[in-house]
Amino acid sequence: MALTTSETYAIHFELDVKTAFHATVKIDTPIFPTTTATLNLAPANVELIVNTPNGVHKVKLNWRMTYRMPADYLIHLEVSSPIFPEDYVANVALAGDWSNMQVKAELQEGSSTHLFEGTITSSKTKGHISFTIMTPYKGLNKVAFETSLDFSDDVELNVMISHGDVFNTLDVNLNMNDRSFIAEAKSPYLPAGQASAEAKLTGNVNKNMQIKMALKSGEQNISGTLNVKVNSVKDIEANMKILTPFKGYKKMTFHAFYTEDDMKHILVYSNKPLNYRVELHFGDSNNTMKGELTLVTPFENFENIKAKLEVPLNTFAPSIATNVYVNGDSYGGNLGLRTKAPYELTAGYHAADLPSAKFHIRTDSSFISLFA
């Protein structure tokens, strides 16, 4: 097909489906001078070639699946174009199933090669994942990762990450019989090259229990003891003692209480050297959801902070009101909406000595009907 005007526009189309799918489109116009696109489709093979005055753009993809079970999958991809600085060739191979799978991917970027190799194995009580990346990108060269999880008897977790000749490991063991926990990390990036943590639980979880913990890094040790007493599901108390090597914080004690009546009450506090206190009360009362928070901190200008929140659970007139008190100064706002006649919308805010604002609009159903 050709269209002749003061300029020539020509389009040529060719299709061959005898043995496979072969299509060619050739365009020669002032906008696309002598451009030819060829698409070849065959079982497990796709190829697209575009010839332009600036060069040849080519994409080729083929794949193969073995007949054995579980099947192996092989994928090959080639991309070349003058718009890219290099030609690219990629190969991907998947072998096995989730119980034992191997993955290998290779990317050829000009003269550079990027390689990824990984394995996955799993069973009902064990799992293992490992992979290796080799690439010249940003000097990474070789990075490896390996992790395994075993919970057949106890729970064991092992993690290894390496970069070149630098290895970082983490080993965790949870003994279900004596309810102990041990974790050890080794890395040249740690101050002493390694750090460990230990914990052990004794007593009855539903009544009285104790957890002892220790964190070690070189010659510095941090230890703690947590005691929990469950008087009932509505009366729980806990305390924690922490010993550290840091000056001014060598001994710290924390206390926590939870009680419940018509409201729920939570109290957490610590005396010297931290001097923190957090008190929270929340629940439903008189068809209104209420919350009250009190904070005592050692920070200047924020020694005492109080916040109140009230949300009436009225289906046709819900509203929210909140107030925060910082050293006696009040900050807060309110928002209300009535969805039955007379309709109302209220909003407002106040912030200490700053100017406050209020908004209130009220109307009957005749005004709403104008927009119906």
pLDDT tens sequence for the chain (372 residues): 445 566 677 788 888 887 778 888 888 877 767 888 999 888 888 999 998 888 899 999 998 887 777 768 899 999 999 988 899 999 999 888 878 889 999 999 988 999 999 999 988 888 999 999 999 887 778 899 999 999 888 899 999 999 888 899 999 999 888 889 899 999 998 877 889 999 998 888 778 899 999 988 877 889 999 999 999 989 999 999 999 988 888 899 999 999 998 889 999 999 888 888 899 988 887 777 788 888 888 877 777 888 777 777 655 566 677 777 777 777 888 777 776 777 777 888 878 777 777 777 777 665 444 444
Contacts of 67 (CB under 8 A, 6+ apart): none
Alpha helices in 261-370 (DSSP H): 365-369
> What is this structure's pTM?
0.59
Within its chain, how far is the Cα of 207 from the centroid? 35
- Residue 306's pLDDT is 81
- Judge contact between 119 and 130, C-beta under 8 A: yes
Of 124, 73, 68, which Cα lies nearest the Cα of 101? Answer: 73
- Residue 229's pLDDT is 92
- How many CB atoms are located within 10 Å of the residue 327 CB? 12
Distance, in Å, from the CA atom of 253 to the CA atom of 267, rounded to the nearest integer, reads 14
Query: How would you classify the pairing of strands 55-65 and 73-80?
Result: antiparallel
Within its chain, how far is the Cα of 364 from the centroid? 49
First vs last Cα of the chain: how many Å apart? 60
Distance, in Å, from the CA atom of 134 to the CA atom of 162, rounded to the nearest integer, reads 12
- Residue 339's pLDDT is 67
- Residue 160's pLDDT is 94
Give the largest Cα separation in the chain, rounded.
98
Distance, in Å, from the CA atom of 90 to the CA atom of 86, rounded to the nearest integer, reads 13
The token duo for 94 is 């998947």
Distance, in Å, from the CA atom of 17 to the CA atom of 142, rounded to the nearest integer, reads 48
342 prior amide bond cis, ω within 30: yes
- Residue 281's pLDDT is 87
The token duo for 304 is 């005492």
Query: How would you classify the pairing of strands 166-175 and 220-232?
Result: unpaired
Distance, in Å, from the CA atom of 48 to the CA atom of 57, rounded to the nearest integer, reads 8
Within its chain, how far is the Cα of 188 from the centroid? 27
Of 84, 32, 25, which Cα lies nearest the Cα of 59? Answer: 84
- Residue 370's pLDDT is 42
For 82-104, give one letter per residue: b (16+ CB within 10 A) or e: eeeeeeebbebbbbeeeeebebe
- Judge contact between 296 and 276, C-beta under 8 A: yes
In the chain, the amino acid numbered 36 is T
The token duo for 187 is 């890395």
The token duo for 110 is 């000009």
Residue 105 β-bridge partners: 92, 116
Distance, in Å, from the CA atom of 205 to the CA atom of 246, rounded to the nearest integer, reads 32
